Structures are given as structure tokens and as C-alpha cells.
Amino acid sequence: MNMPFTTAIRGNFFDIAACVDHPQQLGQQLRHIPDGLMLLHEGTIVWFGSWQQGESLLPPGFEIAHYPDKLIVPGFIDTHIHYPQTEMIGAYGEQLLTWLKNYTFPTESQFCCEQHSDKMSAFFLQQLLSNGTTTALVFGTVHPQSVEALFRQAAALNMRLIAGKVMMDRHAPEALLESPEQSYRQTRALIERWHGKQRLSYAITPRFAPTSTPALLEQVQRLRQEFPDAYLHTHLSENLDEVAWVKELFPDSRSYLDVYHQYGLTGEKSVFAHCLHLEEQEWDCLCQTRSAIAFCPTSNLFLGSGLFNLQKAWQKQVRLGIGTDVGAGTTFNMLETLGEAYKIAQLQRYQLSACEAFYHATLGGARALSLDDKIGNFDVGKEADFVVLDPAVSPLQKLRHENSRELAEQLFVLMTLGDDRNVYRTYVDGKVVYRAAKCQEAA
């Protein structure tokens, strides 16, 4: 066989082979290869199967990255996160609207400074990678330089990243406001510069309805028409006071989502974070327009916003990914985030299985971002972004791991007890971009 490859990875692989429309279908799509081989050519997967089948493909002496006793899964996908809020995680005492006013806006004001944007972009990307997250849909601030810095550094890593500058023209401090025309011009310039460059994409990012005048939403709509394959990323129905405020600000709209829908902002490339207090017709609109949801468990708990109805999302066939929503979210770590998703489901008597949780964090998230042809599992032809997890790093984890026989149980224990200590290696574009410190490996 004449198939060029540059890298060989051997180990215990788990992924989901295909997208599903019902959680019951996941059982048929689980792909667990306890002793597997994956061959990469540069940043692309060119062969995936069992070691037994693949061993003969390797020329004598070919170097193999072998990870016995580890678990290799596709890179995690974070479908909603704010990089400028990294430094304000754990801001005490408030719910959404006062949290924004008291903590978020002052923090975001600092990103007018290029140096600050550079420093925080580097820190943020390292946090993603050290937590096994290889793709994210990211909010910047209103300052174009905030996303310039992030895109520049993600490009250097050849990461698959989607980001955008915030657009807002009311109900925030003066220093964070812009005119609709300025917002249009600056966003347009960023799209032209970054959208489709390497593995980067642009998300048109109106913060949310309350910080948008109708004139701003018109400019968002204009951009959307001019760049139909760019993403649209915003917040929807997170907090009850917010929902009531939107009704006051847009009395002619049928619902919160209708504000966005009237400006043509729903659709296949639209991702709405939260969606906690939706009316039936809003669910229907999300479904009919093929819009996607980012479910943000730790944020929803931290800000006391509400409980996301996962079962309803399945019933309504709305595509869904998981978001950490840092800094309202309290961790970058997807394992911890899935553990909290499980508890949110428990409070509503829905059993979130580990396999379903891992689906949402990988292939399901890729589908929500219309990227399931590029990332999310180990299919040949996909981009080589993956994580090598150490399934047990602490005495407690080891004790519990030894007591779990099935892979589903091991995964469930990981999402209950796991965190960034379990991330042993992160690969982006076929290359190691994060390596656990030696002391961590020995723990």
C-alpha cells in the first residue's frame, strides 16, 4: 500500500463513529479500539484501525508514539467561551445583569491595550490546550485588537478556532460602546483578514439583544448577508430578568429569539449560548432554522441562571454542543463541565450517560459548529486533533478506576472525578502542543 504518513500513534482509542438524532442510537456508534493504531500525514488522519491490522503498514524502525494505559479521544470542542473573562473567573455574588455591570465590563475594558490582549490570548490558548480542548467558539471584546491577538496566536498553532469581536452599542459603559457603522466596518475588516485563513473562522458576535439597538442589528444582518458562511454567535434566554428586559426593549417581537430571527440571524451557522427559558415557539424556530445551542453547565449553575433542558433539545432535534462559558463558567475543563451537565440533567430526571456526554463534547459539538466533516472523531480524512487522557492520576481516581470494568463506567468516573490533571498530551494538527509536567505524570 502506497500511503504516505508522518506519524504513528498506538493506544486505547475511543470515539463516536457517526452523528445521531437520538441518544438511543449512540450505542451503535461507539468505537472503542483497546489496542489501536492511527496514522497521520502531517495534520490529517490517513489510517485508523486495530494495531493487529495496521502493524504491517509500518516500515521497520518507524517511530511510534505509544500510550499504553491511556485513553485517546478526539479533542474537546468548547462551543461557547469568552477569552477576555479568563482573569475574572469566580466573581462573587451576582446574577447575570449585575455580574456584567460589576465585573465583566470593567475587565473587558482592559482589552483596548494590545499588550494585554496578547498576554491574555497566550494564557487562554494554553488553558484550552492543557485541558484537552482543541477547538473553541470564542467571544473577544468590542476591541478589534482583542481578536487580532487571539487569531494571530491560534494561527501560529494552526488551531481550528472560531472567534469574533463583540458588537454592542448600548447598555454598557461608554468606553465599550461603538456606533453601528463602526461596528460594521471593524467586523468586516476582521472577517476579510481572518475568515478562512488556515483553520480559522470568523463569528459575527453581537453580545446579546439588550446591548444591541435595532440599528446595530441591521448592521449585523448586513454582514450576515455579505458573508453567509461566517458564524453568528450570541446569547439567548439565559436569565429571567434578561428575558423580561428584552421584552421591554423589543415590544414588537414575539419572543427573545424572534428579535434575532427578524434580523435574519438564525440559521445553520448560528450558535446561541444558554437557551434556558425558551418558549415552545422559540424551540420550534431553532429547529426550523437549523440553529445550534451551546449548553454551558458550570456557568448556568454559577450565575444561578437555570437548568438547561437537554431532553427537549433532543426532542426538538436542535443541534447542541457544550460550552464552558468562562468566565461565568468556572472551569476550562470539559471533564468537569460534563460532570456538572450530568447533575443538571439529574435535577430534571434525565440520565446523561457518559457516552452521550462525550458525544456532545466531541462529534456532537462539531456538528453544532457544522464542522463534523473536519473534526470530532478519528475518521480517515479528518484533522488530527486529539487528547491522550490518563484515566487515573490521584489515589482516589486510581481506587475508583480499578473498580470500573466497562469503558462507559471509566468514562463516567472520569467526568465525575476528572479534571486537567487527567490530560496527558494534547495534539493539534498532528503535533503535540501540550505535555503534562513530569511531576504530574508520576503522581
Give the residues lining the site for ligand GUN (CB under 6 A). 82, 96, 100, 104, 207-208, 235, 238, 299, 325, 328
Name residue 391's amino acid: P
How, if at all, do strands 292-295 and 319-322 pair? parallel
Go through 250-270 and write b for each residue having 16 or more CB atoms within 10 A of its CB, e for each that does not: beebebbbbbbbbbbbbbebb
Calpha distance 137→400 (Å, rounded): 34
CB 377 within 8 A of CB 385: no
Among candidates 233, 179, 176, which has minimal Cα distance to 202?
Answer: 233
Q: In what order do the strands lie in the sheet with 64-74?
A: 44-50, 30-41, 7-16, 64-74, 386-389, 423-428, 431-435
Kindly determine how many residues on this chain lie close enough to bind Zn ion according to the rule CB under 5 A: 2
Q: Which is nearer to ligand GUN, 124 or 434 (CB)?
A: 124
- Rounded Cα distance between 344 and 336, Å, is 13
Q: Which does 207 bind (CB under 5 to 8 A by kind): Zn ion, ligand GUN, none?
A: ligand GUN
If the CB atoms of residues 104 and 201 are measured against ligand GUN, the closer one turns out to be 104
Choosing among ligand GUN, Zn ion, none, which partner's interface includes residue 160 (Cβ < 5 to 8 Å by kind)? none
Nearest distance from residue 355's CB to ligand GUN, in Å?
28
Query: Closest residue to Zn ion, Cβ-based?
Result: 325
Residue 40 or 150 having the CB closest to ligand GUN:
150
> What is the closest distance, in whole angstroms, from the C-beta atom of residue 19 to ligand GUN in the complex?
27
Cβ-based burial of 129 (10 A; exposed 0-12, middle 13-18, buried ≥19): buried
Shortest Å, Cβ 328 to ligand GUN: 4
Neighbours of 104 (CB within 10 A): 23
Partners of residue 36 on adjacent β-strands: 11, 50
The rounded distance, in Å, linking the Cα atoms of 149 and 236 is 27
- Residue 248 CB, nearest approach to ligand GUN (Å): 16
Q: Select 100 or 428, whichever has its Cβ closest to ligand GUN.
A: 100
Task: Please state the closest distance from residue 83 (CB atom) to ligand GUN, in A.
Answer: 11
Minimum CB distance to ligand GUN, residue 104 (Å): 5
CA distance 1 to 247: 63
303/345 with CB nearer ligand GUN: 303
Cβ 327 to Zn ion shortest distance, Å: 9
Is 30 or 89 the residue whose CB approaches ligand GUN more closely? 89
Closer Cβ to ligand GUN, 299 or 377, answer by number = 299
- Give how far the C-alpha of residue 195 lies from the chain's centroid of Cα atoms, to the nearest Å: 18
- Choose among ligand GUN, Zn ion, none what residue 100 binds, the Cβ cut-off being 5 to 8 Å by kind: ligand GUN
Q: For the packed helices 180-194 and 214-226, what is the interaxial angle rounded to 10 degrees?
A: 20
| Minimum gap (Å) between residue 92 Cβ and Zn ion | 18
Q: Would you count residue 78 as binding Zn ion (CB under 5 A)?
A: no
Q: Taking CB within 5 to 8 Å according to partner kind, which of ligand GUN, Zn ion, none is near residue 104?
A: ligand GUN
Pick the closer one to ligand GUN by CB: 67 or 208.
Answer: 208
Partner whose footprint covers residue 388, from ligand GUN, Zn ion, none (CB < 5 to 8 Å by kind): none
Identify which of residues 242 and 325 has a Cβ nearer to Zn ion in the complex.
325
Q: What angle do CA 332, 335, 339 make, to 5 degrees?
A: 110
Chain position carrying cell 434566554: 237
356 binds Zn ion (CB under 5 A): no
Beta 166-167 vs 200-206: how paired, if at all?
Answer: parallel
Residues 265-324 within binding reach of Zn ion (CB under 5 A): 273
CB of 80 to ligand GUN, least distance (A): 8
325 forms part of the interface with Zn ion (CB under 5 A)? yes
315 CB-near residues (< 8 Å, 6+ apart) = none
For binding to Zn ion (CB under 5 A), which residues are involved?
273, 325
